[in-house]
Structure 1
Amino acid sequence: MATIFLVVIYLAFISLGIPDSLLGSAWPAMRPELGASFGYAGILSMIVAGGTIVSSLASGTMVRLVGTGKITLISCCLTAGALLGFSTAPSLVWLIFLAVPLGLGGGAIDAALNHYVAENYKAHHMNWLHCFWGVGATMGPMIMSYYMAEHHSWRDGYAAVSIIQFALAVILLVTLPLWKRIAATREVERLNYKIPQGQAGSEPVRSAGGSNANVLRIKGVKPTLVAFLFYCGVESTVGLWGASYMVGARNMTAETAAGWISLYYGGITIGRLITGFIALKVHNRLLIRCGQMIAIAGGLMLLFPLPQLFLAGLILVGLGLAPIYPGLLHETPARFGKENSAKLMGYQMAVAYTGTTFLPPLFGAIATQTSIALFPFIVLAFNVLMMMSAEKVNYMLNNRPNSKGMHL
C-alpha cells in the first residue's frame, strides 16, 4: 500500500512540473494572439512565482490545520482551474488574474509534498521526487509543441494539461483516506524501531537558537544564498525565454522551439536520475562543481550560430544544472551545522524563489529595450556568477579555523 501511495505522490510531482514549463513554450504563439508585448511573459512568471512564495510560506500552518492530503487536493484543483482558464482567456488581463491561483496551487503542492516525503520516506525518495518534477517539466513543452503543430492552438495545449490536472485531482480524492493511514504507519515504525523522522540514522534537525542576523553571519551563508539566487535565475530564464529566443533570433517555428525546450528539461530530468546513482560513490560538492562546469560549457555552446551546437548546448545546460540544486540543499547541515539547517533551508528556498521571481522578468525588460539576442550571454553570465558564488563558499569553508570534516 505504501508503494502504491508513493506512486500517487510521484504523479502529483509530475503534475507540478508540467505547468512550470508551459508559459515559456507557448508564449511565442500566445503573444501575437493576445496583442501583448514581449516582456509580459516575465510579468506573468513573476506573479506565478510570487503566489508560489506566499503559499510555500503558509503551507506549514495549512498542513497542520487541514492535513497534507487535503492541501494537495485543493492545490491541484486550483492549478487545474487556472490552467483551464488560461485555455479560454480572452485577454492578457485574464491571464494576469489567473496567474495568482496557478502560483498559489503550485507552491502549496511543492512545499506540502516535500515535507510529507521528508517525514515519512527515506532520503533517496526525495531525490526521485525532484526527478519526477523534471519528467513533468519535460512533458509540458512536448504537449504544447504537439498541439501547436497538429492543432495550431496553444489553447488546446493548456486545456489538455488542465484535463491531466483534474484527473490527478480525482485520484487524490479517492486516495485521501490513505494520507493519515500511511503517516500513522510510519510513526508506529519510528516508535517501534526508534528511527528518527526523516532518513534512518540521521539526527533530528534543530532550529538555531540565535537570531536571524546571527545565522546570516555564519561564514559562507551569504555566498551560498547568492548561488541559489543565480541557480534559479538561470534555470527559469532558459525555460521562460529560450523558445522566444529561438523564434526571434534563430528563426525557428514556435512548435520546434517548444520541442527543443522540452529537451532542456529532459536534460535536467535525466541528469538528476543519473546523479542520484553517482551520488552513492561521489561527494556532493564534486557533483556540484562538475555540474556548474558542464552548465558553463553548455552556455558557451549557445553562442555559436550552428543550430546543432545550440541544441547540444541547451541539453548540456540542463544536464549541468541537474545536481546543483539538490546538492546545495543537501550540503546545508554539513556546511553550517544541523542546529542551523532548518532556518537556513527556509532562507535558501526564499532566495531561490526570489531568483525565479525577478531575474527572468529582468531579462525580459532588458530584451524588450534591446534585443532577445542577448539571451545566451545572460545565461552564460548567470552560470558564471553561480559558480563563482559556490566556489567562494568552498574557499571560505576550507580556510575556516577548526572546520574539521568540511574540506573538499
Structure 2
Amino acid sequence: MPLFFLAYVAYVSIALPDNVGGITWPSVRLDLGQPVEALGLVVPFGVAGYVASSSATAFLLARTGVGGLLALSAALSGAALAAYGAARAFWVVLLAVFLGGLASGAIDTALNAYAVRHFGARRISWMHAGFCLGAAAGPGAATWLLADGRSWRWVYAGLAALQVALAVTFAVSAKRWIPPATPARTHRTRPRPGARALWPSLAAFTLQSGVEAGTAIWAYVHLTAGRGMPDGPAGLTVSAFWGAMFAGRIVVGHGTRRGGTRRFLSLGAWGMFVGALLLAVPGPGWLASAGVVLIGLAAAPMFPLLTLTTSERVGEAATERVIGLQMATSAAAGAVLPGAGAGALVGVFGVGVIGVFLVVLAGGMCLLRGRL
C-alpha cells in the first residue's frame, strides 16, 4: 500500500471517533448514572491529551521515528476506545478520552509533519479531505448501530478494532516511513523559531480553527433559533458544510499547481469573511445557510495549506516542532473559542451574536494573511 494512501486511511480513521461521543452520550450516561451536563467534562480531557501529545511530537519523532510513533499511537487509540466501550465507571471514560486525545494528537501531528516534507499541496489537501469523510461517517455509523438496537459498547468495540488494524498496518510499514530530518538527532539543543516568525502561525491556526469549529458547532442553533429555519433544512445545511469542505479540499488538491498556495489561502480567508457576513446580516434563513456552506468551502484549503507552508514561515529546522505547536493551538482554539467564547456571548446577547463572532474571527484572519 502506498504511504500516501495509508495516510489517507489513517486520517479517515482518526476522525471517525471525533463526533461519535455526542451520538452515544445519551446511552452512555444512563448506563453510568451521569447527568446530561457531564458531557461537558469529557471534552476538556480529550483536548488536554491532544494538546499534550501534539506539543511533544517533535521530541517523540526524533526517538521513535514516524512509523514507530504512528503504530504506537494507533495501538493506544485502540486501547482507549476499548476501555471506553468497557467502562463501568465515569472516571474510566475520562481516562479513556484523555488517552485517546494523546493518540490522536500524535497521529495527527506526525502525519502532517511527514506530509509537509513528502506529499506536496495536492496530497496533503486530499489527506485532510479524508478527515471530512471520517467526521461524517462516524456519527452516521453510530446512529445506524444504535437504531438497529445495538449497545453503544458495540460502537466503541468496532472503532477499537479499526484502530488496532491501523496499528498493525503502521507497524508492518514502519521502516518505509522516511525519518524526519530534525536537528534533534545531531544537536544538543532543539531549534527555537523566533517569536516574529512563530506568532503569525499560531494566530492563524487560532482564528481559522475558531471560525471552522464555531460554524460547525453553532450553525444549527443559529439557523433554527436565530433565523426560524425548520430542523430538517438546518440539519441538511450542517451536512452541506462538511460536504463543501470535503469538495473544497479535493478541488484544492487539483488546483494548487496552477493557482498556488498563496492565492488559495487568500481566497479562503476572504471567503470565510463573506460567509460570516451572510450569517451576521439580517435576512432569510436561506441566506444564512448559504453563508454556512460558503464558510465550509472557503475553510477547506486553510488548515492543510497553512500546515504545508510552515517551513516557509519558520524555517526547515523548526518545522516539526512548530507543526506540533500549531496542532495543539488549533485543538485548544477549536474547543475554547466556540465553547467558552461564543457560549458566553450567546448567554448575554442571544444566538444572533454568532454571526458577529465569526465575522470578527474571519476579519482577523484576513488582516493576518499578509504576515503569512
User: Could you say which TM-score interval applies, normalised by the shorter chain?
Assistant: 0.7 to 0.9
Q: 2: distance between equivalents of 1:88 and 1:372?
A: 38
Structural mapping, 1:142-157, within 5 Å: 142-144=140-142, 146=144, 150=147, 156=152
Alpha-carbon deviation of 1:79?
3.1
Q: 1: distance between equivalents of 2:144 and 2:332?
A: 32
Question: Partner of 1:281 in structure 2?
Answer: 258
Question: Partner of 1:192 in structure 2?
Answer: none
Contact 1:78 1:105 in 2 (8 A): yes
Contact 1:137 1:262 in 2 (8 A): no
- Is residue 267 of structure 1 aligned with residue 262 of structure 2? no
- 2:36 is paired with a residue of what secondary structure? coil
Structural mapping, 1:13-32, within 5 Å: 13-23=11-21
Paired residue type of 1:288: L
Q: 1:263 to 1:385 in 2, by over 3 A?
A: same
Alpha-carbon deviation of 1:16?
1.2
1:107 pairs with 76, 96, 105, which one?
Answer: 105
Paired residue type of 1:36: V
Contact 2:241 2:293 in 1 (8 A): yes
Question: What are structure 2's unaligned runs of at least 5 residues?
Answer: none
Question: Partner of 1:57 in structure 2?
Answer: 55
- Is residue 376 of structure 1 aligned with residue 371 of structure 2? no
Alpha-carbon deviation of 1:225?
2.8
Q: 1:27 to 1:177 in 2, by over 3 A?
A: closer
Residues 324-380 of structure 1: CA deviation (Å, up to 9, x unaligned)? 222233334445554665554454344333312422331364167434453333223
2:196 pairs with 213, 217, 232, which one?
Answer: 217
- Number of residue pairs matched? 363
Question: Partner of 2:369 in structure 1?
Answer: 390
Q: 1: distance between equivalents of 2:89 and 2:351?
A: 24
Q: 1:379 to 1:217 in 2, by over 3 A?
A: closer
- Is residue 329 of structure 1 aligned with residue 327 of structure 2? no
Q: 1:383 to 1:121 in 2, by over 3 A?
A: closer
1:297 pairs with 274, 283, 286, which one?
Answer: 274
Residues 166-185 of structure 1: CA deviation (Å, up to 9, x unaligned)? 134225425622321x24xx
Alpha-carbon deviation of 1:305?
6.0
With 168-177 and 273-282 compared, the bigger mean Cα shift is at 168-177
- 1:288 is paired with a residue of what secondary structure? helix
- Is residue 35 of structure 1 aligned with residue 30 of structure 2? no
Q: 1:58 to 1:346 in 2, by over 3 A?
A: closer
Question: Partner of 1:176 in structure 2?
Answer: 171
With 371-380 and 341-350 compared, the bigger mean Cα shift is at 341-350
Residues 88-112 of structure 1: CA deviation (Å, up to 9, x unaligned)? 7678766544321221121121123
- Is residue 167 of structure 1 aligned with residue 162 of structure 2? yes
- Is residue 135 of structure 1 aligned with residue 133 of structure 2? yes
Paired residue type of 1:378: F
Question: Partner of 1:201 in structure 2?
Answer: none
- Is residue 319 of structure 1 aligned with residue 317 of structure 2? no
Question: What are structure 1's unaligned runs of at least 5 residues?
Answer: 188-195, 199-205, 395-408
Paired residue type of 1:375: I
Alpha-carbon deviation of 1:230?
1.0
Paired residue type of 1:166: A
Paired residue type of 2:49: G
Alpha-carbon deviation of 1:383?
1.6
Q: 1:381 to 1:41 in 2, by over 3 A?
A: farther
Q: 1: distance between equivalents of 2:80 and 2:221?
A: 23
Residues 51-84 of structure 1: CA deviation (Å, up to 9, x unaligned)? 1111123334444555544533443344345445
- 1:281 is paired with a residue of what secondary structure? helix
TM-score of the pair, normalised by structure 1? 0.72
With 122-131 and 61-70 compared, the bigger mean Cα shift is at 61-70
Q: 1:41 to 1:88 in 2, by over 3 A?
A: same
TM-score of the pair, normalised by structure 2? 0.77
In percent, how many aligned pairs have the same letter?
A: 22
Question: Partner of 1:226 in structure 2?
Answer: 203
CA RMSD after TM alignment? 4.1
Question: Partner of 1:404 in structure 2?
Answer: none
Question: Partner of 1:7 in structure 2?
Answer: 5
Question: Partner of 1:400 in structure 2?
Answer: none
Contact 1:76 1:166 in 2 (8 A): no
Question: Partner of 2:123 in structure 1?
Answer: 125
Contact 2:77 2:99 in 1 (8 A): yes
Q: 1: distance between equivalents of 2:154 and 2:229?
A: 27
With 380-389 and 367-376 compared, the bigger mean Cα shift is at 367-376
- 2:258 is paired with a residue of what secondary structure? coil
